[in-house]
Structure 1
Amino acid sequence: MKQHVSAMALAMAAAVPAYAQQSDGACTALRDTVMDAALVTSARVMPAADTLPAYCEVRVTARPAISIEVRLPMQDWNGKYYQSGCGGFCGILGRADAGGGWVNAMRPGLERGYATATSDSGHHALSVTEGSWAMNNPNAERDWGWRSIGETHRVAQALIGAFYDGASEQAIFQGCSTGGRMAHVAAQRYPEMFDGIISGAPAMDYTGLVATKMAWLVQANTAADGSQIIGPDEATLIGDEVMTQCDGADGTEDGLIADPRACSVDLAALACTGEDSASCLGEAELATVAKWREGPHNAAGEQLYPGGIPEGSEPFWWLWLTGNDKGAGRSIPAFVENFGRYMAFATDPGPEWTPLDFDFETDPARLETMSTVYNGDNPDLSEFRAAGGKMIVWHGWADAIVTPYKTIEWYDQAAELAGGEDTLKENVALFMVPGLDHCGILPGPGGISAASLDPMSPMEAWLNDGTRPASILAE
């Protein structure tokens, strides 16, 4: 039993049903809730809409600048709590709930009767790739790195206690990408806080991923004159050839690459034999692909980050790497540029820094200071496991921005530290999904996307019935 459950809460649950109807006045009265180092800024009743029940929406600022939103069902509360992470550099409160998806959104919890909460991670920004808020701002970096997770939980539990007159019996955290990083950080820094953790495509090693690896990708795709070497047309050409060579590697030709490690691609057939054209790859283009596949290393040949861009991810390159003919995409250059300028180093170089300035001989060591603030890739889950926590980790094999190879490495290391995979499986379930884009944002072969997944139902069954997850595919 986790520390957020008390004997008093259980006794009160028997005396006062958690599903009792709450009044509008009880919601607006939450404006007067007093909490240490936090201020309630608004409380209002939101009517039922679509699949969401009526709920009390409470906005809180936790000092110094963490904006938090808590949603409390007006009736039929199930007595439990659900917290969601945020994507990119965050900075936009409830961004995920503006759409209809479930990733990094409160929606999955609220639909099932959970009290739910999320935050902007401690700062305001105009986009999730903007990093200027972190310039010489260690408090904001700390809040983004880990503190906003605990503060969101603390604030939400105080409001749950005030609104329902009792504590939550169970807590689940869900996040993808940066939200996945937050999920792993929660398991490390707050091992008793969440009974269940759902981590998708976790950017768990932010300094290694967003600084070292992404700088490598940008440098590899930048010509001497500053132009981009591989664009969307080349991505299509490469993707078609990869699928031709790899589709049947798993024994079935279904438009999916079950595991890119099982196929060794030879792009010699695409090499230009005369002048470069749209139907072939020149030497510079082939060299860029090779560097993207192998991932970053230093002059001594030491791998600086596990793996590279997986085969099968090419249909999604326009969003992350190359852009498209409409000028959209190329998120990776934006992420690494802002991260390097304002977040990656103990002393921020500022707006003049570019990914081309990253030095693979000296800069990885300079990332160590901030890695202790941001990263959640420690594979030692002993405290979380000892507390009885359950964790579902999922990742798309076709993820071009957060490499699935890091997740595999982490899982293997976690299994070794746990005394073997069979022991780890008592608390951790890993699902690698063929053909799935990063967090399932773009539809892949057969239309597979985040909408094809449902990790929440198996997590509930695992926590409530002890049934270990066998699949996260939506039924």
Structure 2
Amino acid sequence: MRHHLMAGVALCGLATTPALAQECAALEDAALANGSVVTALPVKAGALTIAGREGPVTVETAPALCRVTAELASEPGSMIGMEIWLPAPEAWNGRFLVVGNGGFAGSISTGAMTGPLAAGYAVASTDTGHLGGADASFGLEEPAFLDFAYRAVHETAAAGKEILAGYYAAEPEQSYFSGCSTGGRQALTAASRYPEDFDGIIAGAAAVNGARLHAQQVFTGLVGMEDGTSILTDEDYAALGQNALDACDLNDGVADGVIENPMACSIDLAALDLSDEKRATAEALYTGPMAADGTPLFHGYAPGSEGTWFALRGATPLIVASDFFRIFVHGDDGWSYEGFDPEAEIAAAETIAGDTGAESADLSEFFAAGGKLIMYHGWADPGISPYNSVAYYEDMRAGSTGAEEAARLFMVPGMGHCGGGPGPTSFDMLPALDGWVSGGEAPQAIPAAHLTDGTPDRTRILCPWPEVATYSGEGDDTDAANFACAAP
């Protein structure tokens, strides 16, 4: 039994309602189809404090809940940890949500559970079948690798519905999944492999096309590096970013330090005072790695993201990328990224690509089951090229029956990897998804804001791809009311 599952959250004390405590305790040791409940503890309404990587986070208005941990197994030798938070019956909105993970996972995503809990959702998360996500060494064992790749989310969804039914004596009206980065990959993998698990799915900055994506990330970490240091300095990154803004910031009618539509942006590096080597490095980061015959192997980064490029350019390549090849592809602790050949490594990864990268963009079965999909991605993402989501979405729309009516992509100007940046990065896709699934109305725009010290100082709308938010030319250009979605 892994007692780590309850770590990281300070319980607020026993629930004040004896009936709630009794009903919650009745779940303990309940048998599940592929596992069992380990603990079931009542928590009273009020502040719920969660220890996070950057310090404790407190939800001031958490409802009374039953906090359940369980151990699941997809096969002998598998050990998937999961946790589900069940609001008191009177506070439950009738919905069930599973939240995704980041990086190599290895822990319960408690931070992502708090907001939906406060909104009345029964919400669950999984550690994806291993503990700790510092590296991919868990992937040397097949049960853990396959659980991380796709099985853990499915098992969590199934067990969560069993636990939920035992507590509420009712099935959820709707079941949803939401995740970003690795969670975005989990989202699209669930839609592809288990099309009936969820009624609606949110996939942010999805780490799909894994072999090519991670090859580009290693390439990014190596190109233009000398002794572990980038030949592009902080001043160079700033100059490249200003060059892009000078060329394209006004394309949406507003000079706000954000490029609304990088795909309509044309930049000229010749105007910059850069050495040939520095210019070639910048061009390589914009274009991505190339095959020997000159064809692109994967996307580069978008204009407007230059200020974040340093994030993948440390002394060594991003470990999520290099370990993809070291562990998942080669299964060799001694493998080194030295002399990395993106084309050869992508070819070597073909045997495992389908397990880790949601390679198929055919989601016809998910849409046939009534599923709705919202994708989103930040244009200034330094970790996963935003063009990856655009390409996947276009392929999915072209190759999936029902996609035109049941899928939407929202690109977020100026947003980094799953958040942050100078753009309108504060938004909530879950109400839009729930309204779509429950009410049948596809979202026409998503309200969003830029925050300074937690206070909105600029509002915008996020538009369904390929439309972009465009200023009307009249009124306050920091007010979303003066913008409309229009064709680029």
TM-score range, shorter chain: 0.7 to 0.9
| Structure 2 counterparts to residues 59-458 of structure 1, below 5 A | 59-63=69-73, 64-76=78-90, 77-95=92-110, 97=111, 105-125=112-132, 128-134=133-139, 136-210=140-214, 212-223=215-226, 225-271=227-273, 281-305=274-298, 307-318=299-310, 320-322=311-313, 333-343=318-328, 345=329, 347-350=330-333, 352-418=334-400, 424-440=403-419, 442-445=420-423, 448-449=424-425, 452-458=426-432
- CA distances 1:194-218 after superposition (whole Å, capped 9, x unpaired): 11101111112222212x1112212
Opposite residue 220 of structure 2, the aligned amino acid is: L
Residue 21 of structure 1 and its aligned partner are, at CA, apart by 9.5
**C-alpha deviation, 1:22, in angstroms:** 5.2
Q: Which residue of 2 aligns with 1:38?
A: 35
Aligned residues of 2:153 and 2:186 also touching (Cα < 8 A): yes
Cα shift at 1:73? 0.7
Change (3 A) 1:284 1:241: same
Shift of 1:172: 0.7
Contact 1:119 1:148 in 2 (8 A): yes
1:337 deviates by 2.5
Unaligned stretches of 5+ residues in structure 2: 1-16, 48-59, 450-488
For each residue in 1:265-284, what CA deviation from the matched residue of structure 2 results, as whole angstroms up to 9, or x when unmatched?
Answer: 1122322xxxxxxxxx3332
| C-alpha displacement of 1:339 | 2.2
Tell me the distance in 2 between the aligned counterparts of 1:143 and 1:287: 41
Aligned partner of 2:23 in structure 1 is: 26
Task: Give the structure-1-normalised TM-score.
Answer: 0.82
**Aligned residues: CA RMSD:** 2.1
Q: Deviations over 1:1-56 (max 9, x none)?
A: xxxxxxxxxxxxxxxxxxx9952021122112012431322211222221321211
Higher mean alpha-carbon deviation, 397-406 vs 108-117, is at 108-117
Distance 2:352 2:198 in 1: 25
TM-score (norm 2): 0.80
CA contact (8 A) 2:97 2:122 kept: yes
Aligned AA (2:322): E
In structure 1, distance between residues paired with 2:265 and 2:316: 27
Structure 1 unaligned regions, length at least 5? 1-19, 98-104, 272-280, 324-329
- For residues 418-439 of structure 1, the C-alpha deviation after alignment (integer angstroms, 9 at most, x for no partner) is 46xxx53310011111111111
**Greater share of residues in helix:** 1
Look up the equivalent residue of 1:456 and give its one-letter code: L
Q: What letter is aligned with 1:75?
A: P
Shift of 1:129: 4.5
Residues in 1 aligned to 2:251 and 2:120: alpha-carbon distance in whole angstroms? 44
Counting aligned pairs with the same residue, the percent is 36
Quote the offset at 1:388 in angstroms.
0.8
What is the alpha-carbon distance in structure 2 between the residues aligned to residue 242 and residue 193 of structure 1? 43
The number of equivalent residue pairs is 415
Between the aligned partners of 1:394 and 1:145, the Cα distance in structure 2 is: 21
SS in 2 for 1:438: coil
Between stretches 183-192 and 258-267, larger displacement belongs to 258-267
- Distance in 1, matches of 2:405 and 2:177, equals 18
- Cα distance in 2 between the residues matched to 1:222 and 1:282: 14
Write the deviation string for residues 195-249 of structure 1: whole angstroms up to 9, x where unpaired: 1101111112222212x111221221323x4443224332222212221222123
Letter in 2 for 1:217: T
Q: Is the contact between residue 100 and residue 109 of structure 2 (CA under 8 Å) also seen in structure 1?
A: no
Residue type of the alignment partner of 2:280: A
Distance in 1 separating the partners of 2:198 and 2:325: 32
**Residue number in structure 1 paired with 2:439:** 465
- Deviation at 1:474? 4.2
Kept in 2, the 8 Å contact 1:172–1:196? The answer is yes
CA contact (8 A) 2:27 2:167 kept: yes
**More strand by percentage:** 2
Deviation per CA, 1:137-173, whole angstroms, max 9, x where unpaired? 1211100110001110111111112111222221011
- Name the counterpart of 2:3: none
Contact 2:364 2:403 in 1 (8 A): no
